Chain A
């Protein structure tokens, strides 16, 4: 079993990583205009004349990379929060982070402050600030006097804050004019068309920091799912581990939502499917979910760009329409 884990780490994870890399390479070649990978990487053709390379690197790759980043982040955050809350039904949006992000974005759009500089607009900045504010409120509420975080309070505070922020969002929408309302609604559906590499670069430090924290968590997450007393008796500093898990997952989710809006289903469907494939050990589930989440969202985005081309479906609708039935089918198959 142990040797199996070691072997599985070395066989399963490279497979998942290879799948993700393949998705990143192939997805930009698919679209309304067909291009050839050979021409894209043909350095003998000058950049100005190489339309294929321009489509690949300028029009499509930022979007594919955004899908990879957001998919990986939401799926991994889902895994971390499910372990923290000891509940496989938790999502990255359960604890109010996305509602905070949405409220931030709504306020900027509705106030007409949506301006951009250096490829980064005020909307993602405001939505990131909103997610941080929501995280801070939930964290402050859940910090029990005795020790560490109370996961029950965390859950209740998160769910309540979600409802409260949703009401505020509706209020802002009610006051906004028709165009602004449409834009806010469109933002809520999720959109990976980031336009350039700027937003990706802006989100990258937060995503990398969160993923670095995730990297030290998996064995501790296994123990946290057994309950905080058991985890403590096995040598886990529970208060510190819970704090790290909550703050890193919230930061990652905030960064992902700021980049592409609240794209649902990834954070619950992907971890669940990955568990069916690799078992429950978080040392496999967490990295495999990050890889699978990236590939899954790239795939969903591909569908959203092509299925009704030249019309484009919001990717959040696609993730729900693919993820939902697939998830239910898996549940029925394995129950």
Chain B
């Protein structure tokens, strides 16, 4: 198993655990969606899977080796993270941003060479923003910024990509673009993708498996078609919903109807 979490728990304060008893297996080549209401622990779970946070109980392993036995640098060559939002205090160019993804591949005083430049250009091309290479990051639109941040993670050349609500601040068109991009990275490049999201269209459209989180616990996990049911949607969000499966495409659509609790 590529990435495995066993009975994972995390708490900033022991009286209020953020995550409890999370077990999860991510196969190589998987495209897993993590769904859950605000505060359900999605971001924390991704942080634990990336080794940015240490679990208070349980463990995460990569290739059957506990994450904490990897050096930060070695781990960063295997797992990349796309944060929910990127705010810059200083004006980096797009290329500078993407080249920062090469950090774990460089020596202490090493300056990026042709190999790193090629990786960065390849990542920019894969995310369809090669034409923005010389722009200042701060001048880009939200969708363009998100693509550049994903490109930086791709330039890191890892086999696992963790994305935290990558479409949360984007318009409908940009949301579809990012969804298509993630699917393409997964199918054509073989990148293992774990994406947390509130976007049920994204989850049902591209994720082959889903993990539902509610109040820090796993509510359900499995293949998308099995997990994305009206009962689960109600239990997850306190919302009644119609779930339709399109006969021709097999595409699942979720139509929220009403709140079940005030």
**What residues of chain A have their CB less than 8 Å away from a CB belonging to chain B?**
1-3, 5-6, 9, 82-83, 86-88, 146, 216, 219, 222-223, 225-227, 229-230, 232-237, 275, 279-281, 283
Partner of A234, one of B88, B95, B112, B156: B156
Interface members, chain B 59-85 (any A CB < 8 Å)? 72-73, 75-77, 79-81, 83
Residue in A2, A86, A219, A280 whose CB lies within 8 Å of B113: A2
Contact assessment for B86 and A1 in the assembled complex, using a CB-CB cutoff below 8 Å: no
Query: Given the known A-B contacts A146-B12, A235-B72, are A6 and B111 also in contact in the complex, defined by CB atoms under 8 Å?
Result: yes
Inter-chain contacts of B87 with A (CB < 8 A): 227
CB distance from B151 to the nearest CB of A (A): 13
Contact (Cβ within 8 A) A2 B72: no
Is B90 touching A275 in the complex (CB atoms < 8 A)? yes
A-chain residues with CB within 8 Å of residue B111 when the two chains form the complex: 2, 5-6, 9, 283
Residue interface mask B90-128, A partner, CB < 8 A = 1: 111101100111011010110111101100100000000
Least CB distance, B245 to chain A, in whole angstroms: 36
Known: A226-B100, A230-B81, A236-B103. A1 touches B117 (CB 8 A): yes
Report B's interface with A, CB cutoff 8 A: 12, 47, 50-52, 72-73, 75-77, 79-81, 83, 86-93, 95-96, 99-101, 103-104, 106, 108-109, 111-114, 116-117, 120, 133-134, 156
A216 to B95, CA, bound (A): 22
Chain A residue contacts of B72, Cβ below 8 A: 232, 235-237
**In angstroms, how far is the closest chain A Cβ from the Cβ of B82?**
9
Q: Are A232's CB and B52's CB within 8 A?
A: yes
Chain A residues within an 8 Å CB radius of B77:
235
Bound CA–CA A226/B145 (angstroms): 13
Do B89 and A281 touch across chains, with their CB atoms under 8 A apart? no
Q: Which residues of A contact B101 (CB under 8 A)?
A: 234
User: Per a CB cutoff under 8 Å, which of B104, B108, B133 touches A1?
Assistant: B133
Q: How distant is the Cα of A98 from the Cα of B54 in the complex, in angstroms? A: 37
Closest 5 pairs between A and B when the two form their complex, measured CB to CB: A235-B76, A235-B104, A233-B81, A1-B95, A2-B117
Q: Min CB distance, B52 to chain A, in Å?
A: 5
Please indicate the chain B residues that have their CB under 8 angstroms from the CB of A9 in the complex: 111
The minimal Cβ–Cβ distance linking A62 to chain B, given in whole angstroms, is 33
Q: Given A2-B113, A222-B100: A230 and B86 within 8 A (CB)?
A: yes
B106 close to A219 (CB less than 8 A): yes
User: Given known contacts A146-B12, A225-B88, A280-B90, is B133 in contact with A233 (CB within 8 Å)?
Assistant: no
7 new A-B pairs (CB below 8 Å) besides A222-B96, A235-B103?
A2-B113, A2-B117, A3-B117, A88-B90, A230-B83, A230-B86, A235-B72
Shortest Cβ distance from B113 into A: residue: A2
Complex Cα gap A3–B112 (Å): 8
- With both beta carbons as reference points, the residue of chain B lying nearest to A230 in the complex is identified as B83
A237 surroundings in chain B (CB, below 8 A): 72
CB distance from B166 to the nearest CB of A (A): 14
On chain A, the residues within 8 Å of B103 by CB distance are: 219, 223, 234-236
Q: Tell me how far the C-beta of A213 lies from the nearest C-beta in chain B, rounded to whole angstroms.
A: 12
> Which of B12, B50, B116 makes the CB contact (< 8 A) with A2?
B116
How far, in Å, is A308 (CB) from chain B's closest CB?
38
- Report the minimum CB–CB distance from B84 to chain A (whole Å): 10
Residue from B90, B108, B120, B156 whose CB has the most chain A CB atoms within 10 Å: B90
